[in-house]
Amino acid sequence: MSAEAADPGAPLRRRSRPRIDLRRLGRVALRGPVSRDRLPDAISHVAEAHRAHHPDADLTILRRAYVLAESSHRGQMRKSGEPYITHPLAVTLILAELGAETTTLTASLLHDTVEDTEVTLDQVKEQFGDEVCYLVDGVTKLEKVDYGAAAEPETFRKMLVATGNDVRVMSIKLADRLHNMRTLGVMRPEKQARIAKVTRDVLIPLAERLGVQALKTELEDLVFAILHPEEYEETRALIAAATGPDDPLETIADNVTHTLRDAGISAEVLIRPRHFVSVHRVRRKRGELRGTDFGRLLVLVGEDADCYAVLGELHTCFTPVISEFKDFIAAPKFNLYQSLHTAVVGPEGAVAEVLIRTHRMHKVAEAGVVALGNPYAQDPAAPPQTEPSDERADPTRPGWLSRLLDWQESATDPDTFWTTLRDDLAQDREITVFRTDGGTLGLPAGASCVDAAYAQYGDLAHTAIGARVNGRLATLSTVLSDGDTVQPLLAQDTASGPSPDWLDHARTPAARIAITGWFSDHPDEAKPDPETADATGPGTRGEPAAATEREAPARNRSGPRPTGVVVDDPNAQVRLAGCCTPVPPDELTGFVVRGGAVTVHRRECPAVAAMQEIGRAPVAASWADGEGRESDAGCRVTLVAESFGRPRLLADLTEAIATADAAIVSATVEPPSEQRVRHTYTLRLPDAAGLPGLMRAMRDVAGVYDVSRAQHPAPTG
């Protein structure tokens, strides 16, 4: 495949200038440096593009960087036969057209000098300063990363570290890969495919995350052409056939322009062609393509308020397709993207998708973090830092990147790291949920209360037993929506751990790695014992069904156990069964389970009969002090309240529980059935002697007709 054939985006890409002839620039570069009073001809295109975005930029440093790069790479040739200097020139031109600031362009010109020439980092630092040296060093380290399939997890890890420390490093790397992909035709087909796969799996997701859509879309098309040549050619033919004078988008664009002009709204209406992969996706989704599926209308305005004014006019003067409306201005995407999306019906029923944004939004949508300038530039009005810090605090760093940097250090297992990272990169939307203290949590779409618990509490979330979402009790598996208020509920027993089921609900790498790490440290807890009653019940650990919560093991090396229970073996672990939550003065029976631990049940618990039926021998158990009281830690009990449904019932019940000095460990309210409601509470009391009074107080609540100790079905199998 030729370099030209590997450039499918060329017919569709909007450019302010034609593609630069790099062979001509290479011949100019071979002439050597020029006088100091003017820019070399080979870099004049970079200067022109840079000044278009930064009119006051000082180009002196660019001239010096080009002179060093040209002299260092002199005599080196690319596999395409061009002088090597054409590569850093092309990479720098890509970034300049995106609006990168001068420091990034300087580092881009020098990005291969330390790797491929005799130039050292100390020389770069001496001539161009710490920032340029830092960027060149970061890109150099990325160049040394092994892109082999077996090294993918470590590749991602190094890229995340380099990207997180300074997003400009990855910007240079993405532009570097784009130029290499444009000229990939000189490689053998198998090497083209290998590089294209790495680009697809590694760099395109990161380009999406950094919001650099201009690079991401062209990389997608280049990869598409290499890995799926037949489908690419079919798409190319469809686009070519749709190009003509009778473009329905032209008619709708004219109507939109006149509508906005009549409304007194200053706006620029453009037709934005879809790139090849986008057309291919629409075709797979809809089957037969419509004439308006090959592009979208782009409306650019001056202020945020104008975006909504345009939206109002379009929805008033055209028939809107309401299902296509999305507001990414009020709720920006995780990669800084902001825009209003809608669709309207034009003449003869043609449906056109419309993007509405300000000029600045458009710049950020195209260039992402590249358009944000130098994130480390000192504000002259800001007070100077008194103490230097090794931490490079980047105010433009997207929230997802900060989170990935937090957990990647703890992901010692490559398989876990790889799986969770790929899952996270596959997320295309982020939600914001609110904490009860007024703070916020940024989570991927589809995140559950498990994710919120770990995002807020870290490893303390191992003891989570449920949550409140918008004031209502909810299971940890509940999926959160944008704008929800979430309050994870933690057990007082800090020795308890997560349930294996949580991995089915965790969407964030932090949660998955923390849960997996806990089970690595507690292998006996990784799988529930089907024969242990404390691992059975109407729900799973982490749901507010309190009867299923596991009690933490309590060891008794000398003297009574913290559970206040005595069994025959003084060195055995003892658990109070979650299915019946025995408290003094209940009569007890125990059974040995996995690992030699003894689970203690109330004698009338259905699990006792089930254990005896399968031949399990009971273990004698009794309360330690002989007076029917637990230790100073108090006792835990599960109560079931049966009531008629009425307003404020839950509030009155919880108030009665609090008045009796009981703490709610977890709770669940089943959906009403025939106007009857079933509440299940796991409570911690200071003393078991207070249990009868607590049950009386709950029965006295209006509408409650019965309160009883929990009796869950015995385990089966």
Annotated catalytic sites, by residue? Answer: 115-116
Q: 3-class SS at 705?
A: strand
Q: Which long-range contacts (CB under 8 A, 24 or more apart) does 624-627 make?
A: 624/560, 624/561, 624/564, 624/565, 624/566, 625/560, 625/564, 627/584
- Amino acid identity of residue 713, one-letter, is P
* Nearest in space to 427 (alpha carbons), one of 446, 440, 408: 446
C-alpha to C-alpha distance for 542 and 496, rounded to whole angstroms: 11
**Would you give the end-to-end CA distance of the chain in angstroms?**
62
Query: What six digits make up the tokens of 134?
Result: 């830092």
DSSP 545-586: -GGGPPPPPB--SSSS-TT-EEES-TTS-EEE-TTT---TT-
Query: What CA–CA distances, in Å, run from 562 to 123, 585, 666?
Result: 66, 16, 21
What does the CA dihedral 156, 158, 160, 165 come to, rounded to 10 degrees?
-170
C-alpha to C-alpha distance for 477 and 348, rounded to whole angstroms: 47
* Nearest in space to 208 (alpha carbons), one of 277, 296, 279, 289: 277
C-alpha to C-alpha distance for 144 and 165, rounded to whole angstroms: 17
Provide CB contacts within 8 A for 254, sequence distance 6+. Answer: none
| Cis omega (within 30 of 0) for bond into 585 | yes
C-alpha to C-alpha distance for 237 and 289, rounded to whole angstroms: 13
C-alpha to C-alpha distance for 277 and 274, rounded to whole angstroms: 8
Provide CB contacts within 8 A for 237, sequence distance 6+. Answer: none
Q: Phi first, then psi: what are they for 637, rounded to 5°?
A: -145, 150
Query: What six digits make up the tokens of 457?
Result: 């509490």
DSSP 518-538: HHHH-GGGSS--TT-GGG-SS
Instruction: Check if the beta carbon of residue 39 is closer than 8 Å to that of residue 49.
Output: no
* Nearest in space to 702 (alpha carbons), one of 657, 648, 663, 639: 648
Measured in whole angstroms, the distance separating CA 442 from the mean position of its chain's CA atoms is 8
